Chains A and B, each alone.
Chain A
Amino acid sequence: MTVQVAGGPEPFGRIRPVGDRALLVEVAGTAEVSALYGWLRERRAAGALPGVEEIVPAARTVLLDGVADLPALTALLRGVRPTAASSTPGPLLEVPTVYDGADLGEVAALWGVSAEAAVRIHTEPEYVVAFCGFAPGFGYLTGLSQRYGVPRRATPRSAVPVGSVALAGPYTGVYPRSSPGGWQLLGRTALPLWDTGREPAALLAPGARVRFTAVRDGGGRAAPAQASPAVRGGGAE
């Protein structure tokens, strides 16, 4: 592990206190978030990050919550500048996907390519789960080139089936259960990505690396039969 000590004049990121027990580290973008999150996770696993309950990465920030000693943690964070090379890459997960989503044609049209080419574009990169949010186990995956970013649907669907592989902005996501949603649906996977009876419950946890592979519909239902409670009070993605 190589963690460079920040020697330059500019800090790695701005550190803002949040209440009396949390810190928000603001960095340039998702790559820096992933590097910092990976470094923090390894350091915690090694027992070298005492007194932090939650480490929550997001688009441009990492929140450290339930911090026992704010000044000590702030001092520690000021002295580090993690890079992608400073932590071991997460596990690689293959997500077999049937590319028959309702919005595949529309996305292909936005990209100016055929549906087949759109599938090739989407299965090409290695993705990384930058952060989770919206619902338990819903990961925001980065890896697709910025130029393939697509807007959300003007009118969200009231129910997106579990396992739907979808796009919005620069992100790919897989709906961990049926919920309302406004992302563009490319396809579906039968892989159960969220299961509270399993360890780990979430396959798409921050730091996980992901490849989507195109498969034919095996005849089985992509959506496993499970009672998924409707989101109550939450927003929609």
Chain B
Amino acid sequence: MAALSELLVVRPGPLTTVQDLGRRGVAHLGVPRAGALDEPALRAANRLVGNDPGTAALESTLGGVALRALGPVVFATTGAPAPVRVDGRAAAWGAPVAVPAGALIDIGAATHGVRGYLAVAGGIAVPPVLGSRSADLLSGLGPAPLSVGDRLPVGPPPSYRPAPDLVPLPAPPVELVLRLRLGPHTDWFDPWSVARLAREHYRVAQAGNRIALRTEGPAVARARGGELPSEGMVLGAVQIPPDGLPVVFLADHPTTGGYPVIGVVPPADLAFAAQARPGTPVRFVPLRGR
């Protein structure tokens, strides 16, 4: 069936990818999960336009994205707040916006936060790969990041018309708090060093991407040397590589890894990690009990 509409990429921004909820049940084949880094924001954007919450949408990074609607579409933006313009006129962020064929949708640079989501009624209908339309930047599965001139098919709009709704504007994060369920390899580290991880202040490092959030601060000291045989890795795993600086695994993380994992950040906190700019203070809060 021919797509009902298309979006023509006019300005892809620094990095804009197609994302849904990612791939499940294929980690044993070495396939990363991928999917939106700020999952609640993806769900909210889809809800605003009447899609199923896991429908594929666009995830932009800091610099926004500009698209020409080749047919009439309804879109909504969530995640990192940013100015929204349709044919040069200001439009609503965090609310559904209907535009006619030919309209230029321009999402500007994020005022704060990092990842912006643009959902369109009907979803971004690129062909799914292994059950998902998500771009996986570690292994290259799924659609490549957007470039100028790409035409993105839009699926048939849902018959359901959402009730008028809007999402609250998130406040600029002053500190990224990451709860940490200790283990499975806490015993690889000096107990003093583990305690210090909770006390010391870290910052979001520049080198982060969709694979991992990197931090800078005091190095976590190992209690033992040697290597860990590669083992399965989960979303939110905090690996301590040889330099001792905690690395928090995000959606495009490798399925296996060989550095010891000091703890795991619950998925709910990763949405905040997805919006923390380099330099944001990070505090790890170990969780007690189970």
User: Which residues of B are found within 8 Å of A132, using beta-carbon distances?
Assistant: 28-30, 255
A17→B181 CA distance, assembly (Å): 9
Q: Which of A20, A234, A235 contacts B266 (CB 8 A)?
A: A20
Any A CB within 8 A of the CB of B120: no
Contact B28 A206 (CB under 8 A): yes
Q: Which of A63, A201, A235 contacts B234 (CB 8 A)?
A: A63
Contact B27 A65 (CB under 8 A): yes
Contact B30 A53 (CB under 8 A): no
Chain B: interface size category? 35 or more
User: Which residues of A are found within 8 Å of B130, using beta-carbon distances?
Assistant: 196, 201
Contact A205 B29 (CB under 8 A): yes
User: Which one of B54-62, B137-145, B215-223 contacts A?
Assistant: B137-145
Any B CB within 8 A of the CB of A6: no
Contact A136 B29 (CB under 8 A): yes
Contact B261 A18 (CB under 8 A): yes
Q: Give the contacts of A1-42 with B (CB-CB under 8 A).
A: 16-22, 24
Contact A233 B230 (CB under 8 A): no
Q: Which of B30, B184, B211 contacts A133 (CB 8 A)?
A: B30
Select from chain A the residue with minimum beta-carbon distance to B212: A233
Any A CB within 8 A of the CB of B209: yes
Any A CB within 8 A of the CB of B232: yes
Contact A133 B237 (CB under 8 A): no
Contact B30 A24 (CB under 8 A): no
Contact B234 A18 (CB under 8 A): yes
Scoring B residues 7 to 40 as 1 if CB is less than 8 Å from chain A, else 0, what string do you get?
Answer: 0000000000000000011111111000000000
User: Which one of A54-62, A118-126, A144-152, A155-163 contacts B?
Assistant: A54-62
A230→B261 CA distance, assembly (Å): 27
A143→B276 CA distance, assembly (Å): 46
Contact A136 B141 (CB under 8 A): yes
Scoring B residues 242 to 263 as 1 if CB is less than 8 Å from chain A, else 0, what string do you get?
Answer: 0000000000101110000101
Contact B28 A65 (CB under 8 A): no
Q: Which of B30, B184, B230, B237 contacts A16 (CB 8 A)?
A: B184
A202→B26 CA distance, assembly (Å): 10
Any A CB within 8 A of the CB of B191: no
User: Which residues of A are found within 8 Å of B27, using beta-carbon distances?
Assistant: 54, 56, 65
A18→B231 CA distance, assembly (Å): 12
Contact B30 A18 (CB under 8 A): no
User: Which residues of A are found within 8 Å of B265, using beta-carbon distances?
Assistant: 19
User: Which residues of B are found within 8 Å of A56, using beta-carbon distances?
Assistant: 27-28, 232, 255-256
Any A CB within 8 A of the CB of B282: no
Contact A18 B31 (CB under 8 A): no
Nearest CB in chain B: distance from A23 CB, A: 9
Any B CB within 8 A of the CB of A223: no
Contact A59 B209 (CB under 8 A): no
Do A17 and B144 contact each other (CB < 8 Å), given the known contacts A56-B255, A196-B129?
A: no
Nearest CB in chain B: distance from A7 CB, A: 27
Contact A19 B264 (CB under 8 A): yes
Select from chain A the residue with minimum beta-carbon distance to B233: A63
Select from chain B the residue with minimum beta-carbon distance to A59: B229
Contact B181 A19 (CB under 8 A): yes
A202→B27 CA distance, assembly (Å): 12
A48→B261 CA distance, assembly (Å): 30
Nearest CB in chain A: distance from B184 CB, A: 4
A19→B264 CA distance, assembly (Å): 5
A170→B219 CA distance, assembly (Å): 33
A229→B142 CA distance, assembly (Å): 11
A232→B137 CA distance, assembly (Å): 6
A228→B138 CA distance, assembly (Å): 13
Interface core residue of B30, B184, B236 (most chain A CB under 10 Å): B30
Select from chain A the residue with minimum beta-carbon distance to B186: A16
Do A24 and B141 contact each other (CB < 8 Å), given the known contacts A54-B25, A132-B255, A201-B29?
A: no
Q: What are 27 inter-chain pairs, A to B, with CB distance below 8 A?
A: A17-B181, A18-B261, A19-B234, A19-B236, A19-B237, A19-B263, A19-B264, A20-B266, A22-B234, A53-B24, A55-B28, A63-B231, A65-B232, A66-B24, A131-B28, A133-B230, A133-B255, A135-B139, A136-B31, A137-B29, A196-B141, A205-B28, A205-B29, A229-B140, A229-B144, A231-B138, A234-B139
Can you add 18 more A-B contacts, CB < 8 Å, to A63-B233, A136-B29, A196-B130? Answer: A17-B183, A17-B184, A18-B184, A22-B264, A24-B184, A54-B27, A56-B232, A59-B230, A60-B229, A61-B232, A63-B232, A65-B27, A66-B24, A134-B254, A137-B29, A137-B30, A229-B140, A231-B139
The 8 closest A-B pairs by CB, nearest first: A63-B232, A19-B264, A229-B140, A56-B232, A59-B229, A133-B256, A16-B184, A132-B30
Interface residues of A (CB under 8 A from B): 16-22, 24, 53-63, 65-66, 131-138, 196, 201-202, 205-206, 228-235
